[in-house]
Chain A
């Protein structure tokens, strides 16, 4: 194997080769840096000018590349291996981090002008755990501004990421840079966040694995908050084993986050190869259609999903049945359709609350205009610093939580959330009618859409999350797996949802599916940016 190939290898394979002393950590990092050089193009930046023709062919996953730091860290890992020291379970494995996590001595921008000059004075717990385990930080990757979007187009740092399978299409979002960096083999692992589907949806769009852990499974300490009752840090990886390896590292209680649950972390890797024999896996008609309010007509419209997506899910169910799982059809999940309307309320209230801290006083952007007084400073700073999507969320959050509207909107949405949670409790109840170990669904109602096709229509953009957001309301874990390609060679994602803290079971089902589909023809097809002859 030449060092050039190393970035194309899964993390678990790299780990093995390192321990066998066949390769070095420096060689791995150099291989990833060469790939970034070949396919990523210029990093996202403020006021970056017009897109060039070359820009439209590149991935643009990164905002900040920490190459020197990564090489120094790799040398230290190699020294530890040479000295026979314990270098950690992720030793020598490069990873990228969504730029919504604070990482000491890096700009931590949230892809927003208002934090563009903010250097985090401390490191988020999941990042610190990955580094302590020997993982090598390659850099911070792009996202929708403050995570508010499903396409990455709202980033203040342009060019925004593009889909490695077809750079004319979005990578999804908000963890678009994470999914794009893993799909383009710039890094085998990435740390994202999922508030309505922000790990799973881009993972589906980019043909990689994305895990939204149970709320509280992974600490939020150092995560720049969006919706504090919904946000979940989670792994993006090229395969299920790597995702399990990463989740093992980042999960667990944290003295800095009182919502990080005091629940022991299972051995995800040990459970991984146990197969699915005897597991009950459900299918629900409520996940094979989407319902949305059409703003043009003010009518609710219900649409079946594209046939290719439903077929991919049913094919996966047949595969799992062939391995001994029991498939349970027609599981009712009647409140799925209310996930987005409830999210429009709950997430906006939480976002508005979380965004009040950005005021141009303590850190971040401050206006350079002359101001009359402190109130004027706040207004000018926030108007310059926030893009349209944060402004939209602040205004909606303030409206629906205002005293005169709160019962009608906010409290009602929180009660609907109870019903969404009950759908899952009924489906997973071990003595109930369905007794499911997992629900198998599509991850998204469509494959990756073209850049510019949806952006600006905030309602339709949000409906991209209709099949992922119920898990955030309910707090339950979910995983998105590559499930095939559509006729345009764009990835289709399939999703597994399970009861609280059932990550080990979901990963185990995912791994069984991955093994069963390993020789499928679509798995041999590479993303477009990796098929170009001049790539390397």
Chain B
């Protein structure tokens, strides 16, 4: 199988990713995506029997090696105002954002 990402799919992905691209960026990124996809398609040639499960991380975590879950206890940060001061726009303890678009569900 030799798939490639079409312009239409690419534009859909760009929208989902919350990006806007100029023409030269779009051209570069679509070309590189399709080149990477060719490399990825090498995986399709590998015989994978049903017995082969996924590995979501390499090192197994056992009961012995996994730290016990933390107590679910609220730990207040000593200076919330300091955290808030990193926000690009804030007022009276609130982060300010522009109008949030609304869509009425049918």
A residues with a Cβ closer than 8 A to B are: 118-119, 121, 214-216, 229-230, 253, 255, 258-263, 292-293, 295, 298, 300, 335, 337-338, 340-342, 344-345, 352, 359-366, 371-380, 382-383, 386, 388, 391-392, 394-396, 398-400, 408-409, 411-419, 421, 456-459, 462, 472-476, 500
Known: A229-B56, A261-B61, A416-B48. A409 touches B40 (CB 8 A): yes
A399 B13 Cβ-Cβ under 8 A: yes
Bound Cα distance A409, B83 (Å): 39
Known contacts A374-B99, A416-B43, A399 near B33 by CB under 8 Å:
yes
Given known contacts A293-B39, A400-B40, A414-B55, is B25 in contact with A395 (CB within 8 Å)?
no
A360 adjacent to B88 (CB under 8 Å): yes
Whether B23 sits at the interface, judged by CB under 8 Å, is no
Q: A268 to B91, alpha carbons, bound, how many Å?
A: 51
Q: In the complex the two chains form, is A377's CB within 8 Å of B97's CB?
A: yes
CA distance A191 to B67 in the complex (A): 24
The complex places the Cα of A4 from the Cα of B16 at a distance, in Å, of 55
List chain B residues, Cβ under 8 A from A338. 42-43, 46
Q: A419 touching B46 by the CB < 8 A rule?
A: yes
Contacts A253-B67, A377-B97: A388 and B25 contacting too (C-beta < 8 A)? yes
Distance (Å) between the CB of A23 and the closest chain B CB?
Answer: 38
14 residue pairs of the A-B complex, CB under 8 angstroms, read: A119-B86, A121-B82, A121-B86, A214-B59, A215-B57, A262-B65, A262-B66, A338-B43, A341-B39, A361-B88, A413-B43, A416-B43, A418-B52, A475-B57
Residue among B33, B88, B101 with the most chain A CB within 10 A? B88
**Is there an interface contact between A293 and B64, defined as CB atoms closer than 8 Å?**
no
A-chain residues with CB within 8 Å of residue B43 when the two chains form the complex: 338, 341-342, 345, 409, 412-413, 416
Complex partner residue of A412 from B44, B70, B95, CB under 8 angstroms: B44
What chain A residues lie within 8 Å of B18 (beta carbons)? 359, 375, 378-379, 382
In the bound assembly, the distance between CA atoms of A458 and B48 in angstroms comes to 28
- 7 more CB-based (< 8 A) A-B contacts, given A121-B86, A298-B38, A366-B88: A216-B59, A216-B61, A230-B57, A344-B39, A396-B36, A411-B54, A417-B54
A260 to B70 Cα, complex, angstroms: 13
A261-B65, A363-B87 are contacts. A394–B17 as well, Cβ < 8 Å?
A: yes
Q: How far is the CB of B86 from chain A (nearest CB, A)?
A: 4
Contact with A along B71-91 (1 / 0, CB 8 A): 000000100001100111100
Tell me whether B98 and A371 are in contact (CB under 8 A).
Answer: yes
Whether B38 lies near A398 (C-beta < 8 A) is: no
The distance in angstroms between the C-alpha atoms of A26 and B59, with both chains bound, is 42
Report the separation of the CA atoms of residues A236 and B64 in the bound assembly, to the nearest whole angstrom: 30
Could you tell me if A376 and B98 are in contact, using CB atoms closer than 8 angstroms? yes
**CB-defined contacts of A345 to chain B, threshold 8 Å:** 40, 43
Q: Say whether B29 faces chain A, with CB atoms less than 8 Å apart.
A: yes
Q: Determine which residue in B5, B44, B56, B67 has the highest number of CB atoms from chain A within 10 A of its CB, and name it.
A: B67
B25:A292 contact, CB within 8 angstroms: no
Contacts of A394 in B (CB 8 A): 17, 19
Greatest chain A CB density within 10 A among B18, B37, B97 is at B18
Please state if B58 and A474 are interface contacts (CB–CB under 8 Å): yes
Q: Closest approach, in angstroms, between the C-beta of A293 and any C-beta of chain B?
A: 4
B interface residues, Cβ below 8 angstroms from A:
5, 9-10, 13-14, 16-21, 25, 28-29, 32-33, 35-44, 46, 48, 52-59, 61, 64-67, 69-70, 77, 82-83, 86-89, 95, 97-101
Instruction: Tell me how far the C-beta of A387 lies from the nearest C-beta in chain B, rounded to whole angstroms.
Output: 10
Chain A residues in 8 Å Cβ range of B99? 372-374
Q: Are A458 and B40 in contact (CB under 8 A)?
A: no
List the A side residues contacting B28 at CB < 8 Å. 388, 456
Closest chain A residue to B83 by CB distance? A121
Nearest CB on B from A229, distance (A): 4
Q: A363 to chain B: which residues have CB within 8 Å?
A: 86-88
Is A392 touching B65 in the complex (CB atoms < 8 A)? no
Least Cβ–Cβ distance between A67 and chain B, in angstroms: 24
List residues of chain A with CB within 8 A of the CB of B65: 216, 261-263
Cβ contacts under 8 Å, A462 to chain B = 36, 39
State the Cβ distance, A297 to closest chain B Cβ, in Å: 10
Q: CA A421 – CA B52 in complex, angstroms? A: 12
A262 to B65, CA, bound (A): 4
A295 to B34, CA, bound (A): 9
Q: Is the CB of A391 within 8 A of B29?
A: yes
Asked whether B33 lies within 8 Å of A392 as measured between CB atoms, the reply is yes
**With A376-B98, A396-B33 as given contacts, are A341 and B57 in contact (CB-CB < 8 Å)?**
no
**In the complex, what's the smallest C-beta–C-beta distance from B33 to chain A, in angstroms?**
6
Q: Is the CB of A258 within 8 A of B67?
A: yes
Chain A nearest CB: distance from B18 CB in Å? 4
Instruction: Report yes or no: B58 in contact with A391, Cβ–Cβ below 8 A.
Output: no
Complex: how many Å from CA A379 to CA B13? 13
Given known contacts A373-B101, A399-B9, is B32 in contact with A418 (CB within 8 Å)?
A: no
A255 to chain B: closest residue by CB: B70
* Partner of B57 from A229, A298, A383, A419 at Cβ < 8 Å: A229
* B63 nearest CB neighbor, chain A only: A262
- Which residues of chain A have C-beta atoms less than 8 A from B48's C-beta? 412, 415-416, 419
Partner of A421, one of B5, B10, B33, B55: B55
- B-side contacts of A293, CB under 8 Å: 38-39, 41-42
Measured between C-beta atoms, what is the minimum distance from B17 to chain A in Å? 5
Note all chain B residues with C-beta closer than 8 A to A373. 98-101
8 residue pairs, one from A and one from B, having the closest CB atoms: A475-B58, A475-B59, A366-B88, A414-B54, A363-B86, A295-B35, A229-B57, A378-B18
Q: A386 contacts which chain B residues (CB < 8 A)?
A: 19
Q: Pick the contact of B97 from A374, A414, A475 — CB < 8 Å?
A: A374
